[in-house]
Amino acid sequence: MNSTWLEGGKESLLHAHLPALVEGLTWVEAGIDLFAITVMLIGVLRFVAGFLRAERAGDKRLAAIDESRIELGRYILAGLELFIVSDIIETALSLQLLDLVFLGLLVAIRSAISYFLEREVTNIRTTRSGAEDRA
């Protein structure tokens, strides 16, 4: 194993011989982060708009709110997946063991959030389709 992983202070071959590539990938990573944030903010704005419309929907209010929640969940999941990609790029560039451990924890936490969020979205869909079948 390369000692760079443990010491963290030495420059890797990638940094030493291809600094322009490293800088370019750092900008790509930052761009992905910004795009992930933008995706989530769009989801929040759409949720707020849908929620406000749902409040005026009368007796179909709960179904409209559930639809908005499903849509928000999709945006959050997309944003989390983009953050994972960004974290992988960051870890590949840093070549530090601590960053690899941190990436593992982030991926585990984000995967758990994604799993439970997807489960909630599926539950909302199932509940709604069951209610529509009874109506």
Mean pLDDT of the chain: 83
Neighbours of 47 (CB within 10 A): 19
Q: What is the pLDDT of residues 100-114, one digit of tens each?
A: 888 889 888 888 888
Q: Residue 3 above 60 pLDDT?
A: no
Percent of the chain with pLDDT over 90: 30
Please name which of 117, 45, 50 lies closest in space to residue 77, comparing C-alpha atoms.
117
Predicted TM-score (pTM) of this structure: 0.74
**In the structure encoding, which two tokens stand for residue 22, read together?**
């490293």
| Per-residue confidence (pLDDT) for residue 9, from 0 to 100 | 52
At 5, is the pLDDT very low, low, confident or very high (cuts 50, 70, 90)? very low
- Find which of 37-41, 57-61, 90-94 is predicted with most confidence, using mean pLDDT: 37-41
Domain boundaries, the chain: 34-130
